[in-house]
Amino acid sequence: MGAEKKWLFTLFSGAFITFLIFLSFISGFSSSYYYAFPPHKAFPSTVHHGPDYPPAFAYYISGGRGDASRLFRLLLAVYHPRNRYLLHISADGADEERLRLGALVKSVPAIRAFGNVDVIGKPDPNTYMGSTNLAAVLRAAAVLLKVDRSWDWFVTLSALDYPLITQDDLSHVFASVRRDLNFIDHTSDLGWKEGQRIQPIVVDPGTYLARRTQIFHATEKRPMPDAFRVFTGSPWVVLSRSFLEFCVFGWDNLPRTLLMYFTNVVLPQEVYFHSVICNSPEFKNTTVNADLRYFVWDDPPKMEPHFLNTTDYDEMVKSGAVFARQFGKDEPVLNMIDRNILMRGRNRATPGAWCTGRKSWLMDPCSQWDDVNVVKPGPQAKMLEESLNKILEDWKSQSNTCT
């Protein structure tokens, strides 16, 4: 059996077979890299990619211990047969939780048919302020490039995020966007981050210890680099496939050089992609200075934006953002988004033009489908289009946004 076959555990339909595979997962879990869910039969609708079709997105959705149900809910909220998905529960979660997440994923008819969702089986450690977080993102990008390179943009989400538009809206609006553009909030004005985030030398024990511990600091700081400029910004990105290929395959040594440097900084996910892209002559003019997220920060700001609730709903809807952060588990405002924006029932995928089943409390409309290459925008698409047009106008007015 080849190495690639050893990586993939094929899941078949049927309750009895599912039970047998569940047992085989338990026996073979420790050596697996990720669980894949390839189609169990011929595609009932052929997925087409390319410039003549709507764009596709590769989602990396991550969480920690106790986040299986949240990751599944988020997956359903952003699901579309044309996209690709990779789910990751970090090493602090139990194997049983990954198995439960895999079973939940397997329960969705469309996912069984299209085979476009994978669950990481051999998890990565994930220390929020350390380099293991960035390593997990780069690994996810590598896996998504390996299993399917037909997507156009790579999106990072966590269990604390939620969409504010449907995937039909997103694909419709992004169909008119250049597919080499990268949406990454960035600046070279480091301010206080220079002395508190870049110069301090830190070590993430998650890179060499099985048990999760906090990062520790060296006693001295290092000078700022002069071989490249440091850029910082939001850790939540929407990156083009061409740029991710540059970072992962590295025909230029820049991505590896900067990775070695930023391994020892606090919160490398706030500086790595930003610095790589802005120091690369090939990609620096593809940077759109926006992360497409809705946040509300405390005053003074903390490490993370404050948790959103029903009082924030109206502003979220009017923001024209694609995603919002951060939400508590089962926060009531999520039900409002499901009901009013996504039109999504409990434990059901967000419906789109591809769903043809009758809508009722008994039947999931997305348990039956037709042409998945057709998208139909809804009311929120106009807000996103207006917001994105303004962002792109600002981008076009600058010859180089990496300043």
DSSP 265-312: SSSGGGTHHHHHHHT-TTTGGGEES---EE----SS--SSPPPP-GGG
> In 3D, which of 387, 385, 379, 391 has the Cα closest to residue 319?
387
- What is the distance in angstroms between the CA of the first residue and the CA of the last residue of the chain? 51
- Is 271's pLDDT higher than 70? yes
pLDDT of residue 32: 39
27-78 residue pLDDT tens? 333 333 444 444 444 445 789 999 999 999 999 999 999 999 999 999 999 9
111-150 residue pLDDT tens? 999 999 999 999 988 777 788 899 999 999 999 999 999 9
In angstroms, the CA 166 to CA 343 distance is 9
In angstroms, the CA 354 to CA 365 distance is 9
pLDDT greater at residue 186 or residue 2: 186
Residue 132's region, left for phi above 0, alpha for psi from -120 to 50, else beta, is alpha
In angstroms, the CA 155 to CA 165 distance is 14
Q: How many CB atoms lie within 10 A of CB 361?
A: 7
Lowest mean pLDDT among 18-22, 37-41, 131-135, 308-312: 18-22
In angstroms, the CA 233 to CA 247 distance is 18
DSSP 162-228: EESS-HHHHHHHHTTS-TT-EE---BS--TTHIIIIISEEEE-GGGT-SS----EEEEEE-PPPSSS
348-393 residue pLDDT tens? 999 999 999 887 777 889 999 999 999 999 989 999 999 999 999 9
Counting every residue written for the chain, the total comes to 403
Pairing of strands 238-240, 57-63: unpaired
In angstroms, the CA 281 to CA 285 distance is 8
Angle between helices 131-147 and 241-249 (to 10 degrees): 110
pLDDT of residue 212: 63
In angstroms, the CA 152 to CA 229 distance is 28
Across the chain, mean pLDDT equals 86
Residues 151 and 58 sit within 8 Å (Cβ to Cβ): yes
Residue 399 — very low, low, confident or very high, per pLDDT cuts 50/70/90?
low
pTM: 0.88
